[in-house]
Amino acid sequence: MNTNRLSKTLTAALNAQMTKEAHASQIYLAYAAWASSQGFGGVSNFLFRHAQEERNHMMKILEYILKRGAEVHVTAIPAPPENPANINSCFEKVFAHEVDNTESVYKLVKMSLEEEDWATWSFMQWFVKEQVEEETLALELMDKIKVAGGEKIGPDALYLLDKDMETTSGEVKSALEVTAVNP
């Protein structure tokens, strides 16, 4: 009796997404180590915490593939890109990476819709919501550095930004939680 509830195409796509989340974790890990080596302990702390979050995303997909009776393929994780040139470029790269991941999530949603695999479609809605938050978080990082002077950020502003990042939460408030009295 066939107990596999995932199509071949979706199994391959979910496995690829699982590796993509692991790759995201490696990217955050690499940037965190780079930030630490540059003396930015706060930025490094934030990025290390986010690397763990990406590992959690990877685990959610792995667990889902198993629960649907399909096969998990743990493969090599591509190497992260080169280190950023500065903090400004680091935050820009983080944002670009998150947008790329959102597009990948959307492809999975579209595939599950076309296959009428409503379980996978429903599962992927968590990632759709999560990506809105991840992009918002990355945009907020870019806003912080823009306010502090962008590429021309001075050492004092950089110092304060780094201190601020130590306690910056990895969570952002969802737009659905916002009200007129609690913006």
- Rule CB under 6 A: which of 6-25 touch ligand FEO? 21, 24
Total residues interacting with ligand FEO, rule: CB under 6 A: 7
| Binding-residue pattern over the window 143 to 172 for ligand FEO, x denoting contact by CB under 6 A | ------------------------------
Q: Do the beta carbons of residue 63 and residue 54 sit within 8 Å?
A: no
| Cα distance between residue 173 and residue 137, in whole Å | 10
User: Identity (one letter) of the amino acid at 99?
Assistant: V
Cβ-based nearer residue to ligand FEO, 45 or 153: 45
Place of tokens 């959690």: 56
Report the interhelical angle of 8-37 vs 87-114 (nearest 10°). Answer: 170
Q: Could you tell me how far CA 84 lies from the centroid of its own chain?
A: 17
- Rule CB under 6 A: which of 60-89 touch ligand FEO? none
Answer yes or no whether residue 57 interacts with ligand FEO by CB under 6 A.
yes
Cβ-based nearer residue to ligand FEO, 103 or 116: 103
Q: Within 10 Å of residue 134's Cβ, how many Cβ atoms?
A: 26
Cβ-based nearer residue to ligand FEO, 57 or 144: 57
Cβ-based nearer residue to ligand FEO, 117 or 134: 134
Q: Do the beta carbons of residue 127 and residue 59 sit within 8 Å?
A: no
Identified binder of ligand FEO from the candidate list 27, 32, 43, 54, rule CB under 6 A: 54
Which of 66, 70, 61 lies closest to 19, judged by CA?
61
Which positions lie near ligand FEO, rule CB under 6 A?
Answer: 21, 24, 54, 57, 98, 101, 134
